[in-house]
Amino acid sequence: MTASTITPRLAPAELAPFIQHTLIGVGITRDRIVAHAREAAEHGFNAAMVPASWLSVVASELAGTGIGVASALDFPTVGVTTSAGKAAEAAEIARLGATQLDIGVQIGWLKSGMFDEFREDIAGVVRASGIPVKVMLELPLLTEAEKEAAIELAMDAGAAYLKNASSGQIETANPASIRYLVERTRKGVLVKASGSITTYPQAVELLDAGASLLGTSAGLSIIADTGDAATASY
């Protein structure tokens, strides 16, 4: 059963298993990251998405809960990390307890026609980490031909999920972008929506469009159906 067939019957709190509860920023304290992990477990979110520097703490907090431990790499400014450095950090992220990983991609390389390098940058992370990798494709920054190439190359590299964008600075997640990805994924490759997801109705629309996961820092507002125009999210 896909998300799009069940969301019309889901109450706000029942969206939690589709939401990756996100807290990534500057100056996050130990107390705050522990509270974030406990929120993920209390509400049954799909995963706690946290900075790599706090992974060991979060993995310990969530041990035995069934809640995923996620982190991000080459983010929030994507495409600035060397491929070797990215692979090494991916291996360390997995060692620290991450069960999944979101990564930025080399948009500049793609636009320069460096397709082999673009693909291998992703593949190196897939090999080094050994955990599901979600790629932030930054669709609004790409031409139609570049979008098609990025999707195919990411799947060739072994990506488990395709993402429309890294954050709301690139795109507010919308059904059109999600459907665009869903229509082009191969069997077994899923889609994660990301970018300023702040309300229950928006979350339902994205799931109905075919997203399997939602990345947001407004998960608590979404499951309480209190999100509005003033609610902020990455």
Separation of alpha carbons 66 and 99, rounded Å = 11
Return the CA Rg of the chain: 17
Q: Verify whether residue 156 is a known catalytic residue.
A: no
Q: How far is CA 179 from CA 146, 195, 212, 216, in A?
A: 17, 15, 12, 19
195 is written with which tokens?
């970018």
Q: Verify whether residue 163 is a known catalytic residue.
A: yes
Separation of alpha carbons 230 and 91, rounded Å = 38
CA angle 206-76-59, nearest 5°? 80
Q: Which of 86, 134, 147, 163 is catalytic?
A: 163
Q: Are 132 and 101 in contact (CB under 8 A)?
A: yes
Q: Verify whether residue 134 is a known catalytic residue.
A: no
Q: Which of 74, 102, 121, 208 is catalytic?
A: 102
3-state SS assignment for residue 60: helix
| Residues annotated as part of the active site | 102, 163, 192
